[in-house]
Amino acid sequence: MQEEKKGLSWMRLIFMQIVIGCVLIGIFAFVFRVGVDEVRVLPGNMHNNDMAEGIPMRMSVTYPGVGTTVIEDPKELIAWKDAFAQLLHTGTQRNHGNASRLLLSGSMAYLDQEDIQFQVGTSGLSFGSMFVGSMDISAEIRKLQNMLIDKALTAERVGAAIANMDSEVFRLEEGVLTPLDSKARAALAQQTSTAVRLIDFSQFSFPDKQPNAHYVVQLTDAKASAKHWLHLDQYDNAYFVVFDLLDETNHKAYFKQNDAS
């Protein structure tokens, strides 16, 4: 009987310690507000900044009047995601729209969230519901715009714009625009669409001489409030320099004809 009483007293002691421990844990949890499975709502600006932080699966870039280019390379998509995220985190958020003359638009498709639309111009970047732009990041925005132009203004896209019968193609000579006939237009479209993009053009002195021919393509751009022209300078019947007067960065794309020596 005495051993049975000792066993019961030990059980009571252990039980009391458990009860006291639970009470103390409850008191500390109440006093210090220790959250269990706590749900937090992120502030609106933090949510917007994190829009570019998902896992990109595909990105499309549209050059107005020229066409859309799709990017699916994983490494390249990560680089684009980082470029957008950097500008969204460092730029100054504004409420007005993009007043740039040339706007490149597109969308970023993610694995873990909805697709997000974007627009890039010299005056700023809109990404989803955000619009950022300030003097501090103006150089970075122009750099991003030039990179997007390089992706969208390809030889294939330029050739397709020339071949598109909704567009008009002219040769500019001594200030006079002369429409190209179907044969000359088809030849020009073939030359440009099969051309090779030049990355290093420092060895060429294009600005030092007049082009052999200057072509103008009036693009079909439903959103443009005025006529939108794409210009092509041809040198030595071997090289093309393509530029857009609406592009405020004065970016130029250099090509070499595929059959040129």
Q: Exposed/middle/buried for 221, CB within 10 Å: 0-12, 13-18, 19+?
A: middle
d(CA 40, CA 245): 49
Strands 104-110 and 67-71 come out as: unpaired
Q: Exposed/middle/buried for 218, CB within 10 Å: 0-12, 13-18, 19+?
A: middle
Q: What is the mean pLDDT of the chain?
A: 80
Whole-number percent of the chain with pLDDT over 70: 72
Q: What is the CA radius of gyration of the chain?
A: 31
Level-2 CATH architecture, domain 155-256: 2-Layer Sandwich (3.30)
The pLDDT value recorded for residue 48 is: 47
**Worst-scoring range by mean pLDDT, 55-69, 71-85, 87-101, 115-129?**
87-101
DSSP letter, residue 16: H
**CA nearest neighbour of 156 among 38, 41, 68, 33:** 68
The pLDDT value recorded for residue 51 is: 58
Is the per-residue pLDDT at 29 higher than 70?
Answer: no
The pLDDT value recorded for residue 71 is: 95
Query: What is the distance of C-alpha 138 from the center of its chain?
Result: 15
Is the per-residue pLDDT at 118 higher than 90?
Answer: yes
**Worst-scoring range by mean pLDDT, 51-55, 71-75, 105-109, 165-169?**
51-55
